[in-house]
Amino acid sequence: MSDKKDKSLIKLGEKKDKGKNIIFTSTEILPIMALRNTVLFPNHVIPIYIGRPKSLKLIENLDEEHRKIMVIAQKEGSIDDPKPEDLYEWGTVAQVLKIFEMPDGSKSAIVQGLDRAKVVEYTQSDPFYMGKVARAQEIYTPSLEVDALVTNLRQIFQRLIKVAPYLTEEHAQILTNIQHPGRLVDRAIGLMNIPVAEKQEILMELDVRDRLEKATVIINREIQRIELGEQIQSEVQDEISKAQREYFLREQLKAIKRELGEDESTLELKELEKKIKESKMTDEARNVALKELDRLQKIPPSSPEYTVSRTYLDWLVDLPWGIFTEDNVDIKRAREILDEDHYGLDKVKNRIIEYLAVRKLKKEEEGEETVKGPILCFIGPPGVGKTSMGMSIARAMGRKFVRMSLGGVHDEAEIRGHRRTYIGALPGRIIQGIKKAGSSNPIFMIDEIDKIGQDFRGDPSSALLEVLDPEQNHSFSDHYLEVSYDLSKVMFIATANIVDTILPALRDRMEILEFPGYTEEEKVQIAKKFLIPKQLREHGLSKLKVEFEEDAIKYIIRSYTREAGVRNLEREIANICRRIATIYAEKKSRRTFTIDRNAVFKYLGPEKYIFDIGERVSKPGIAIGLAWTMAGGDILFIEATSMKGTGKLHLTGQLGDVMKESAEAALSYIKSNSKELGIDENIFSNIDIHVHVPAGAIPKDGPSAGVTILTAIYSLLKKKKVKNNLAMTGEITLRGALLPVGGIKEKVLAAHRAGLKRVILPEQNKKDLVEIPKEIKKEMRFDFVKEMSEVLDIAVRK
């Protein structure tokens, strides 16, 4: 190796590099050594530890005469075998002064920086890097500005020495002896514990004036970092000292209390024992609690078992053993409260009044409360007031109210609780609800009882059997408590949308009360008396004069909602109230708002529901049926069409097995009675019939569409339209008889909501007409039939 000058590498003299005039004084080929986390400045002498294979090879092959190398810092110190792209372009030409052999086979060397230089080209990569290196000359012009920058640098470095723990006054003395501004900067930055990138930035700066400015910024930043770190450390230390002081004081206080026999844990246990003895809990529960307390006294407070045992005792003590609220047995007042909160629902209200009357007479006769709480189950579509009725019952009776939703619950432990052997175990939601109520005879509402699931963790429905059985729930046992708790005075009310999915054994334990859908007139009255005043209060409009015309309310009901309950009606009223609130907030001079049909359209936008029934039943093969769903009654369009084929029946629309069989029975009836019905019996072997029920994404099942399917097929084959103002429901037999079906009230209400004026019903459903409101009976016509021939006469022939 040689330091022979290579004139072909760079033309010496001025050369533009990154926008500055750089004077390269000489070029040469030198071995290149990569340094980790270290930047060597010119005129600095530093030790280098050499352990990597390439570095060792470089030292071993070093030219003994000149011993010059190019030292470059790595961009990332974590890289063991850096490539050229992992190294900076600029480094320092250095003289290797001395090499030491280390016991582990590695080496170390003392090197002295000579000049700033740039690697122009790598000429060798193995066994170590070599490259063409161009030395660069500093740019320095003495001036008053440079002198001022030097003075400022010395001052701030003196500040840095005072705050930086790694610098001493000896370092300040080193800088005092350096007069050249460029060397002063190099020495100052070289002494600092700052990132390699910042040191490299100073190394690459050839202009001494610019180097001074950059160094000033770096030193100031380091001072701020150290001062901020010291401030944070001081605050943390203060907090630690405060915490330690509090800890020592608490320990001293505990020691004093122990000496006086007033240890905190002992006092807590004594208080707990007092609560157990004063509680009205059963003898069984008290014996278990005292036994557990005795065990607790032997457990160290620091043990995890202590917390488990203490939590268990707290649950036992906090339950309202023997605590009951006194029932309001003023029948007249109770009825007034029920009427205040709900419009209609007389059947439910009467059942509650009956219960209160029996309770009052029983108490007068026997002088004590012996009436067991009834188990009621409210069945009805969403939004008809099931949950709110439970709250009204609690208010009417003067009892506490607790609500628990079982929708989606799969784990039996949700009802009965977890055994205490499990970490984080708690009582079930029944016991939690009783504790929350603070009395042993609340109104306990179990919502969505028809939506309980079951899986490998157990069946919550089966767990409810004991809870909802008046003959068993006087000794309900929760897995967590492991003692009996009397639930017989609790009035349980369950709610569900549909009764069919409730476990039969569970259904048998409850008294079913059906909540029918509301008629249009009932919805209008509910809106006037309850929904509109409530929404005006909630939107801060009580002081304004806001009037909803009755015609506008009916318009909202007919064109913006189609439901059995009133939830969507309340939402639309809330939408209107928000628009009014916005208008008033922007222009407070207007204080009167009248909501008519035009205002409803303006605030709510286009109608969501349009009555197009007449258009949809304008062709043969289409009939309207009536269905009963979890959301209440609804109308159902049945469409039939024919095509060339071999007599097959195609069914679409996500139909269930029962509905498919109804369709097959309908077609069989028509085939077997084709002569009487006036249909060519030879036609069936030449065509396929396709029956479709629109809204194909919704599953449908049940026997009540049989009459509608048969009418649609008959209409198709006779090429006669079904009357467009008529709906029907009923199960058919192969002999053409019409059998009764359920949900008549909901179905009739659905037909009324849809604007239909005539309904065909099975003769045996005539008794169900009693439940239909009088105003609807006046507006609609009902045809009760026994045979399919009568249906076809009414719907198609006449």
Dig out the tokens for 101 from the structure. 């052999």
Residue written as tokens 């003395």? Answer: 173
711 neighbors 735 (Cβ within 8 angstroms): no
If phi > 0 it is left, if psi is from -120 to 50 it is alpha, else beta; for residue 19 that is left
704 among known catalytic residues: yes
Which of 54, 199, 700, 747 does the annotation list as catalytic? 747
Which H, E and C letters describe 488-554, residue by residue? Answer: CCCEEEEEECCCCCCCHHHHHCCEEEECCCCCHHHHHHHHHHHHHHHHHHHCCCCCCEEEECHHHHH
Residue written as tokens 């609220």? Answer: 325
199 neighbors 90 (Cβ within 8 angstroms): no
Helix, strand, or coil (residue 322): coil
| Beta-bridge partner residues of 100 | 108
Which of 461, 704, 715, 745 does the annotation list as catalytic? 704
Nearest to 377 by CA among 445, 459, 461: 445
Q: Strands 68-73 and 649-652: what pairing?
A: unpaired
**Distance (Å, rounded) from C-alpha 437 to C-alpha 402?**
6
The secondary structure of 85-116 as a DSSP string is GGB-SEEEEEEEEEEEE-TTS-EEEEEEEEEE
589 among known catalytic residues: no
276 neighbors 286 (Cβ within 8 angstroms): yes
472 neighbors 372 (Cβ within 8 angstroms): no
Which H, E and C letters describe 60-86, residue by residue? Answer: HCCCCCCCEEEEEEECCCCCCCCCHHH
Measured N-to-C along each axis, helices 331-341 and 386-397 cross at an angle, to the nearest 10 degrees, of 150
Residue written as tokens 């009976």? Answer: 777
**Distance (Å, rounded) from C-alpha 318 to C-alpha 272?**
11
285 neighbors 321 (Cβ within 8 angstroms): yes
Residues 6+ apart with CB under 8 A from 505: 465
H or E element in which residue 582 lies: helix 567-586
Helices (H) and strands (E) in the chain, counts: 28, 25
Nearest to 784 by CA among 717, 734, 728: 728
Dig out the tokens for 400 from the structure. 């506490």
Distance of CA 303 to the CA centre of its chain: 36
Residue positions counted in the chain: 798
Distance of CA 476 to the CA centre of its chain: 34
Residues 6+ apart with CB under 8 A from 430: 404, 415, 416, 444, 467, 476, 478, 487
| Beta-bridge partner residues of 475 | none
Q: Which residues are identified as catalytic? A: 704, 747
